[in-house]
Amino acid sequence: MLFDFPDFDNHELVLFGRDEASGLAAIIAVHSTALGPACGGCRMWPYANDTEAMRDALRLSRGMSYKNAMAGLPLGGGKSVIIGDSRKDKTDELFRAFGRVIDSLGGKYIAAEDVGITVADVMTMGQTTRHVAGLSKGHDASGDPSPFTAYGVYMGIKAAVKHKLATDSLRGVRVAVQGLGNVGSHLCQRLADDGAILTVTDIHADAVQRAVDKFGAMAVAPDRIHAADADVYAPCALGAVINPRSLPELKAKIVAGGANNQLETDPMGEALRAAGILYAPDYVINGGGIINVSAEVTQDYDRDSVLRQVERIPVTLTEIFRRADWENRPTSAVADEMAREILAAGKGGQKQAA
Ligand code: NAD
């Protein structure tokens, strides 16, 4: 039963989209519209079963509510997943069918890019719905959000390094980057430009080879990156990478990366704190992409103002780090509390307006 699902957090709605002709099997989860229409990426992934897909949609959409709240955006939290292999199963018809599913919600959910989904895919969804963002063409089109996400993560890593290692420079700082896709590759470029020493991995050998050639990075196997000799572990692939199996092997003193849902469960935040590892809450550090998308949604796109907003991310993170130190609490718990306060204030505002 959906309402008993462990990851169900009073989500406003969950929609299952099926289109036999194109093979579409998708789930849209809207966690909250307290602050505005729910906006969040669409992920295409070959989930082992429907339960995994459901879990991802529920967790990711809650994360989007928190992310949008913490970035100060007029957007609620939602996310969608398409069950399939992005390297094999993509067709225009599939994305048009998915666009129709999005459209049936009448603007309650706005989709953008996430793992496995490109700007071109979102453009194809846009043939059957206008409730998409992160487009490459059209009025206020904001394009690929990933470079903005990577910029925010880079700024966030600098803030974490300053807080934990007491240095303003990334020169010689060792960073282990897991996942060399849209976010990970842009992040590597920024880190390498600042003289950081990179260890990298990906499940695709071609992506690893590019990073080795371009940034002089050292490559390790995908299942060893968390244990790399590094100062910073930057997860930029999938979630749940901080778990009871990986934590005892972590050598880094900072976990700061672009991936969503890095903690397998909430108590992992306390486990990181107890181990003396500074965690940059994922939905705060990776908010750059949605800040960029938001400017398109609100039809007010201005690249410089987006960059200025992204540059607030290290400020928010530093506030969280200090509060967590002061209160002797996990950074994840401090961030969750701050996000919930903003959402509750938004809900209060909605009730007053009604
Ligand atoms: P992407 O699909 O472009 O890249 C993900 C990369 O991770 C791929 O190269 C993939 O091969 C690799 N990967 C998958 N499983 C792996 C594993 N077990 N070990 C090592 N590598 C693995 O996706 P992306 O857009 O770069 O997003 C990366 C993460 O950042 C995701 O968690 C996403 O939700 C999050 N995120 C992305 C954005 C954005 O703007 N794209 C914004 C916020 C958060």
User: In this structure, what CATH number is given to the domain that contains residue 17?
Assistant: 3.40.50.10860
Same domain for 94 and 162, yes or no, is no
Q: Give the CATH number of the domain where residue 214 resides.
A: 3.40.50.720
C-alpha–C-alpha distance, residues 212 and 206, integer Å: 10
Q: What is the pLDDT of residue 352?
A: 59
> Could you tell me if the CB of 114 is within 6 A of ligand 1?
yes
Residue 348 pLDDT greater than 80, yes or no? no
3-class DSSP assignment, residue 47: coil
Residue 351 pLDDT greater than 70, yes or no? no
Distance 327 CA to ligand 1 centre (A): 33
Same domain for 213 and 163, yes or no, is yes
Same domain for 177 and 326, yes or no, is yes
Given a contact cutoff of 8 angstroms between Cβ atoms, the answer to whether 211 and 219 are in contact is: yes
Q: What is the pLDDT of residue 136?
A: 82
Non-local CB neighbours of 191 within 8 Å, separated by 6+ positions: 154, 157, 170, 175, 177, 198, 215
- State how many domains the chain has: 2
Same domain for 104 and 246, yes or no, is no
Instruction: Choose between 140 and 201: higher pLDDT.
Output: 201
Distance 354 CA to ligand 1 centre (A): 40
> Could you tell me if the CB of 146 is within 6 A of ligand 1?
yes
Residues 62-88 pLDDT 10s: 999 999 999 999 999 999 999 999 999
At position 345, the amino acid (one-letter code) is A
The answer to whether position 265 is within a domain reads yes
Same domain for 159 and 62, yes or no, is no
Instruction: Label residue 123 exposed, middle or buried (CB < 10 Å: 0-12, 13-18, 19+).
Output: middle
Given a contact cutoff of 8 angstroms between Cβ atoms, the answer to whether 289 and 142 are in contact is: no
The answer to whether position 295 is within a domain reads no
The answer to whether position 292 is within a domain reads no
Q: Measured from the CA of 260, which atom of ligand 1 is nearest?
A: 32
Given a contact cutoff of 8 angstroms between Cβ atoms, the answer to whether 176 and 222 are in contact is: no
The answer to whether position 249 is within a domain reads yes
Same domain for 197 and 257, yes or no, is yes
Same domain for 231 and 89, yes or no, is no
Residue 354 pLDDT greater than 60, yes or no? no
Same domain for 211 and 329, yes or no, is yes
> Could you tell me if the CB of 235 is within 6 A of ligand 1?
no
Best probe residue, ligand 1, of 115, 135, 187, 210 (max atoms within 8 Å of C-beta):
115
What number is the average pLDDT over the span 153-161?
98
Residues 221-268 pLDDT 10s: 999 999 999 999 999 998 999 999 999 999 999 999 999 999 999 999
C-alpha–C-alpha distance, residues 349 and 79, integer Å: 23
* Percent of the chain residues past pLDDT 70, beyond the cut: 98
DSSP of 238-276: -S--BSTTTGGG---SEE--S-S--BSSTTHHHHHHHTT
Distance 344 CA to ligand 1 centre (A): 30
Distance 171 CA to ligand 1 centre (A): 25
Same domain for 161 and 275, yes or no, is yes
Given a contact cutoff of 8 angstroms between Cβ atoms, the answer to whether 59 and 42 are in contact is: no
Detail the DSSP E strand segments found in 73-172: 76-83, 109-113
Q: Can you give the residue range of the structural domain that contains 46? A: 9-66+77-126
C-alpha–C-alpha distance, residues 193 and 165, integer Å: 20
Same domain for 167 and 113, yes or no, is no
> Could you tell me if the CB of 180 is within 6 A of ligand 1?
yes
Closest CA to 10 of 2, 1, 20, 18: 2
Q: Measured from the CA of 148, which atom of ligand 1 is nearest?
A: 40
Same domain for 97 and 245, yes or no, is no
pTM: 0.93
Same domain for 122 and 159, yes or no, is no
What number is the average pLDDT over the span 171-187?
97
Query: Among the listed ranges 86-95, 159-168, 340-349, which one has the minimum average pLDDT value?
Result: 340-349
